[in-house]
Amino acid sequence: MRSRILACLAAAVSAAALLTSPAAATPHHGCATSQEPGTSALHTIESGGLHRTYQLHLPEDYTRKRDWPLIVAYHGRGNTGAGTETFSKLSELPAIVAYPNGVIGTGDGDRQAWQGAPYSAPGVDDVAFTGDLLDELEATLCVDDRRVYATGKSNGAGFTGILGCVLADRFAAIAPIAGAFYSNGIDCHPSRPVPVIDFHGTADATIPYTGDTDRGLPAVTDWVTAWADRDRCRVRVPDRTIEPDITVARWTGCARGAEVVHVAVTGGGHTWPGADSYSGGGYATQTIEAHEVLWQFVRRYSL
C-alpha cells in the first residue's frame, strides 16, 4: 500500500522536477572526517560570537569517492536536532543530514527557537549561522554544494521559508512541514525560483491551517500560493486526493523548471507525516512518510 501511495505522490510532484536532474558531481579533495559512516554525532562551530551546535548524520555508505547531497533539518520550538532526527527518519535517506540547534528564545520555558518568530532570541542571526554551517560542512565533508536542501518542522519549517527568500543561492529546494510562517518583515525576493514542497495538517491546532491573524500567521494555502507567484508558475493543476487523508496541490510551468507542491493531510495535527514516535499534538498520518515524499521531490533539483 505505502509503495503505491509513494509512487502516486512521486508522479504527482516530479513532472517538472525531472527537467532539472543534476549531473554527476566532481568529488571534493581532502573531505575526510573522523566520524564513522552510518553514525550521528554532535558538533560545535562558532558563529556570531556564539558556540552553536548541530547533530550530523553520515549515510552508511558515505565515501570520499563521491559528493553527497546535504539536507539541513531545523527543529521546532523547544525541540532539538537530535529529537528531530528521531521522529523524522531523514537519516534513512542517501544524504548527509545536519540537524542544527537553535538558541533559547523568549517566552515561557527555556525553549530553543529560530529567527523570524516572535519568540526567537533577540539579536541572533540564524541566517548567518546557516551560512557558516554550510561553509563548514562543504569544507570538511564530501558535499555536493549544488544539491543542498532545507526542511524543518513548525518554527524550523517557518525558518526554511526565510532561507528560501534570502539564501536561494545556497539551497536548491525547501520542504517545510507544519510550518509556522510568521510575518517577519523580510522582503522576499529570492535570487532564483525556489522549488517548494509543503506539508500541513488541516486540523493543526498549534499552527492553524486557515491561519491566525492575531498571531501573524497566514493561511497555509495563501503562503504556498505566494511561492507559486514568486516562482512565476503558470498552471495550477487540479487538486488530487490520492488517499482519503492526502490531497496534493501543484503549481507547474514555473520559471527555470521549478515547481510548488502542497500536501494537505486531512485531519492531520501538528505532526510529521509518517512519524513513529511523538512529533507534536494531534493525528499523525501513516499513509505517507514525509521523509520519502520530500526526498522524491527535492533530489531532482540542483543549483
Q: What is the C-alpha separation between 173 and 187, in angstroms, rounded?
A: 19
Mean pLDDT of 233-260: 97
As a whole number, the mean pLDDT across the chain is 91
Predicted local distance difference test score (pLDDT) of residue 14: 47
CB atoms within 10 A of CB 205: 12
pLDDT of residue 257: 96
Q: Residues of the chain with pLDDT > 90: what percent?
A: 85
In the block, cell 533559547 appears at 104
pLDDT (mean) for 217-232: 98
Q: What is the pLDDT of residue 10?
A: 56
**pLDDT per position as a tens digit, 273-284:** 999 999 999 999
Question: Is-contact 94 49, C-beta < 8 A?
Answer: no
pLDDT for residue 18: 40
pLDDT average, residue stretch 196-217? 97
- Reported as a single tens digit per residue, the pLDDT across 99-123 is 999 999 998 888 999 999 999 999 9
Banded pLDDT at 167 (limits 50, 70, 90) = very high
For 268, which DSSP code?
A: B
Residue 179 host element (H or E):
none
Mean pLDDT of 250-262: 98
Q: C-alpha cell of 209?
A: 491551517
How many residues does the structure list for the chain?
303
Whole-number pLDDT of residue 65: 79
**Best mean pLDDT range from 28-37, 104-113, 268-277:** 268-277
Nearest to 94 by CA among 125, 118, 64, 71: 71
Task: Tell me the CB-side half-sphere exposure of residue 73, using CA atoms within 13 A.
Answer: 31
Note the pLDDT of residue 108. Answer: 85
Contact indicator for 173, 196 with CB cutoff of 8 Å: yes
- For 55-84, write each residue's pLDDT tens digit: 999 999 998 878 999 999 999 999 999 999
Tell me the pTM.
0.92
Q: What is the pLDDT of residue 12?
A: 54
pLDDT of residue 25: 47
- What is the CATH T-level fold of the domain 2-298, as seen in this structure? Rossmann fold (3.40.50)
Residue 64 pLDDT? 81
Q: What are the sequence ranges of the domains in the chain?
A: 2-298
Q: What is the pLDDT of residue 32?
A: 67
pLDDT at position 9 is: 59
If phi > 0 it is left, if psi is from -120 to 50 it is alpha, else beta; for residue 264 that is beta
Task: Give the burial string for 271-294 (b: 16+ CB within 10 Å, else e).
Answer: bbbbbeeebbebbbbebbbbbbbb
Q: Kindly state the cell numbers that stand for 115.
A: 529567527
Residue 63: CB atoms within 10 A of its CB come to 12
The upper half-sphere exposure of residue 226, i.e. CA atoms within 13 Å in the direction of its Cβ, equals: 14
200-223: average pLDDT: 97
Pairs from 101-106 (Cβ < 8 Å, separation ≥ 24) = 101/52, 101/53, 101/54, 101/55, 101/75, 102/74, 102/75, 102/77, 102/126, 102/155, 102/156, 103/50, 103/52, 105/77
Q: Band the pLDDT of 260: cuts 50, 70, 90.
A: very high
Would you state the pLDDT for residue 8?
Answer: 55
Band of pLDDT at residue 16, cut at 50, 70 and 90: very low
Q: Which residue in 228, 225, 145 sits closest to 194, CA to CA? A: 228
